Amino acid sequence: VDLPNSTGLAATASLAAKFRALGIESDELNDLVRFVKNLSSIAAGSDIVRAGERPRCSTIVLAGIACQYRRRDDGSRQIYSFHHPGDFCDLYRYVLPELDESVAVQAITDCSVAKIDHTDIERLLSSKPKLGLALWRATMLASRIVRERLLNIGRGTALQRVATLLCEQLALRKAIGIESSALPFSQIDIADATSLSVVHVNRVIQTLRGLNVVSKASQPIEVIDSKLLAQVAGFDGRYLDVSGVISNWAAEVNDARSALSSIGAALANGLLLARIGNPIIEALF
């Protein structure tokens, strides 16, 4: 694979689709994509963004799943959100760079990520003001998901909390063209995201298995009956599917995929991206 070239294409595939959906013209896109660089791969479990470091750049997930979390004094971890291919991990640190508490980002699975310097973002924003609105929107969409989780965690039974999380993540992945119904979360991850104990998460999953909603096998949790899952959760995905933002976005990803079909469909859902510069996944090929 011709690295520099496919890097450009890779960035185009997942990022471009997202930002076009956020209301950005394609010529402005190209400028953004040009500044994305610094591909690297992260092993599952290690930190992508460390807490407390003053950032000079922001990070984008190209493949794998990452989570934004915070560690409390007692050592427990609160997961705020999960990041899928195309997501900025820490764009909020561009806006509020000054000492951001102890929020960090960790790779849930092996990830490959790209970076963009804050100085480059700044330069871009001054020349392309509409891009600023798109980035602002991106951060607000993330915030809205957190707000929704607040509601979910506040009231709502353990069953609803877990089911809602699964629905949400499934929907987010579907929106970027990942149709697979398997979610590579550990039960610990789910516990930390739903503010439940691991033991209880396990029991809830047993229940879901009893309802034939998820598969028996553990580790990659596979959702069998997403309809029933949504019913159990009382899930209303409208908060993800802001008219013309994410729903368009899904369409755009499909466009991008077919446009780039010469590289194969694997590109769009991130497999190739994962491969580039990720020795762990690269070994699979």
Partner DNA sequence: CGGCGGCTTGATTCGAGTCAAGAACCGTGG
Partner DNA sequence: CCACGGTTCTTGACTCGAATCAAGCCGCCG
d(CA 121, CA 103): 21
| Nearer residue to DNA within complex by CB, 54 or 216 | 216
Kindly write down the DSSP assignment for every residue of 218-229, as one continuous string. Answer: -SSEEBS-HHHH
d(CA 205, CA 213): 9
Report what 144 binds from a second copy, DNA, none; CB cut-off 5-8 Å by kind.
a second copy
Residues 30, 68 contacting (CB under 8 angstroms)? no
CB of 144 to DNA, least distance (A): 24
**What is the Rg, in whole angstroms, of the alpha carbon atoms belonging to the chain?**
18
Residue with token string 């929704």: 148
Ramachandran region of residue 218, left (φ > 0), alpha (ψ -120 to 50) or beta?
A: beta
Report what 96 binds from a second copy, DNA, none; CB cut-off 5-8 Å by kind.
a second copy
Residues 184, 172 contacting (CB under 8 angstroms)? no
Q: Which residues bind DNA (CB under 7 A)?
A: 157-159, 186-188, 195-200, 202-203, 205-206, 218-219
Residue with token string 């069998």: 224
Report what 150 binds from a second copy, DNA, none; CB cut-off 5-8 Å by kind.
a second copy
CB of 28 to DNA, least distance (A): 41
Report what 6 binds from DNA, a second copy, none; CB cut-off 5-8 Å by kind.
none
Report what 35 binds from a second copy, DNA, none; CB cut-off 5-8 Å by kind.
none
Looking only at the bridges linking them, the beta strands covering 221-222 and 182-183 are: antiparallel
CB of 231 to DNA, least distance (A): 17
| Nearer residue to a second copy within complex by CB, 72 or 227 | 72
Report what 219 binds from a second copy, DNA, none; CB cut-off 5-8 Å by kind.
DNA
Give the helix, strand, coil percentages of the chain, each rounded to 5.
50, 15, 30
CB of 142 to a second copy, least distance (A): 8
β strands within 153-236, DSSP E: 182-183, 221-222
CB of 174 to DNA, least distance (A): 22
Q: Which residues bind a second copy (CB under 8 A)?
A: 70, 72-73, 76, 78, 80, 92, 95-96, 98-99, 101, 125-126, 129, 132-133, 136-137, 139-141, 143-144, 146-147, 149-151, 153-155, 195, 234, 238-239, 242-245
| Nearer residue to a second copy within complex by CB, 237 or 270 | 237
d(CA 138, CA 276): 25
